[in-house]
C-alpha cells in the first residue's frame, strides 16, 4: 500500500512567499541564495534541480533515477518510514506516480517559478 503523493499537509501557501520583482540585481542574488537554502533544506538535491530547472523528463528510461531522487526528497519531507513504504511499492517506480510527486513540487517550478523562467521572463521585458 502506498500513500498518496499529494496530501493537504504537504500543500504550501505559496501566496505567503516573497516573490522577486526583478527591480534590483543584488536582490536577485540574495533571493536566489535564500531559495536555494530553503529548497535544499526542505527537499534535498531534488529541490535544487526543480528550482534551477534541471530536472529531466520522466519516462521509462529515466524513472528509476528519478524515483531514487524522489525517495531522498521524501525522506526529508515525510520521514524515512513513509518514504520506505513508498519505495518498496511497485507503483512508486512508475512514470505516473513519479509525475504526480513532481506535480506536488510544481510550485518550485511554476508557482514561484523556476530560476530559469524568472531570468528568461525578466530579460524578455
pLDDT tens per residue across span 58-93:
999 999 999 999 999 889 888 999 999 999 999 999
Query: 108 versus 95: which is more confidently predicted?
Result: 95
- Tell me the average pLDDT across 23-51: 82
The 10 Å Cβ neighbour count of residue 11 is: 10
DSSP 1-33: ----S--GGG---GGGS----SS-HHHHHHHHH
Name the pTM for this structure: 0.63
Distance, in Å, from the CA atom of 83 to the CA atom of 73, rounded to the nearest integer, reads 9
Proportion of the chain above pLDDT 70, given as a percent = 66
Distance, in Å, from the CA atom of 111 to the CA atom of 15, rounded to the nearest integer, reads 9
Between the alpha carbon of residue 61 and those of residues 47, 52, 98, the distances in Å are 21, 22, 13
Domain boundaries, the chain: 24-124
Amino acid at each position: 500500500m502506498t500513500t498518496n503523493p499529494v496530501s493537504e499537509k504537504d500543500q504550501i501557501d505559496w501566496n505567503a512567499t516573497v516573490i522577486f520583482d526583478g527591480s534590483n540585481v543584488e536582490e536577485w542574488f540574495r533571493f536566489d541564495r535564500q531559495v536555494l537554502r530553503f529548497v535544499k533544506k526542505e527537499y534535498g538535491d531534488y529541490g535544487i534541480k526543480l528550482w534551477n530547472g534541471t530536472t529531466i523528463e520522466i519516462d521509462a528510461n529515466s524513472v528509476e533515477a528519478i524515483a531514487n531522487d524522489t525517495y531522498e526528497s521524501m525522506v526529508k519531507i515525510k520521514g524515512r518510514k513513509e518514504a520506505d513504504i513508498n519505495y518498496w511499492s511497485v507503483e512508486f517506480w512508475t512514470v505516473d506516480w513519479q509525475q504526480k510527486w513532481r506535480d506536488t513540487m510544481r510550485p518550485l517550478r511554476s508557482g514561484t517559478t523556476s530560476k530559469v523562467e524568472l531570468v528568461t521572463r525578466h530579460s524578455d521585458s
